[in-house]
């Protein structure tokens, strides 16, 4: 087994943050008097940058920052903790660390919030470096976050991205990094495969086996 540098997404990969994100996105759509789709449809808000999905659901392009501000007015107080680690994630991370892998976080969630969430659920110490987006919009997309992470740590050999959406796959691919998708998150398996995911993990045990292949 060759030790790897593993870049983990956060929302939909390490923690099930759907409840808080969907509740806050609902508030933002209601702010504009827009129809609110089913909670299943609203699951697309988990992971990708918010502006992309607000436009998808009818927010004008020049109003996306206002929508994000409304979202954050609830999320930064309440929504960020309407969240829970996926069952088995602590054990999986512990196993990977003991196997000699280096673990990192690369998330499109604002970095300051990611740090709070990881600390809340006792996940921080598994990771060497935690990188996320900025609140001012200067670093938003997954490819930008990965570039920022690699600026901090250099370019390790044998990097893998672990994420639950096509945005994780495409963001990693922009840097020549392969992605293992996880099926327990909010993205669609077929979209991750179409984007180029090298494998899909359906359980934590699957994930560990795929990483070690």
CB 188 within 8 A of CB 213: no
User: Using CA atoms, how far apart are residues 184 and 204, in angstroms rounded to an integer?
Assistant: 10
User: Using CA atoms, how far apart are residues 179 and 170, in angstroms rounded to an integer?
Assistant: 9
User: Using CA atoms, how far apart are residues 152 and 155, in angstroms rounded to an integer?
Assistant: 9
Active-site annotation, residues:
9
CA distances from 172 to 12, 59, 77, 113, 204 (A): 16, 28, 31, 22, 21
């Amino acid at each position: 087994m060759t030790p790897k540098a593993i870049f983990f997404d956060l929302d939909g990969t390490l923690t099930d943050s759907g409840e808080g994100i969907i509740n806050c996105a609902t508030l933002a759509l209601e702010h504009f008097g827009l129809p609110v789709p089913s909670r299943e449809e609203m699951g697309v808000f988990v992971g990708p940058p918010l502006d992309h999905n607000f436009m998808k659901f009818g927010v004008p392009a020049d109003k996306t920052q206002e929508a994000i501000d409304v979202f954050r007015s609830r999320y930064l107080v309440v929504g960020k903790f309407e969240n829970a680690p996926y069952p088995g994630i602590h054990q999986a991370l512990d196993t990977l660390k003991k196997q000699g892998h280096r673990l990192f976080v690369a998330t499109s969630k604002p970095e300051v919030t990611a740090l709070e969430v990881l600390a809340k659920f006792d996940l921080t110490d598994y990771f060497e470096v935690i990188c996320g987006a900025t609140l001012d919009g200067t670093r938003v997309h997954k490819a930008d976050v990965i570039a920022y992470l690699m600026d901090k740590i250099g370019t390790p050999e044998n990097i893998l991205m672990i994420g639950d959406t096509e945005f994780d796959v495409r963001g990693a691919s922009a840097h020549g990094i392969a992605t293992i998708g996880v099926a327990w998150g909010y993205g669609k398996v077929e979209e991750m495969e179409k984007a180029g995911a090298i494998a899909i993990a359906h359980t934590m045990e699957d994930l560990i086996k795929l990483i070690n292949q």
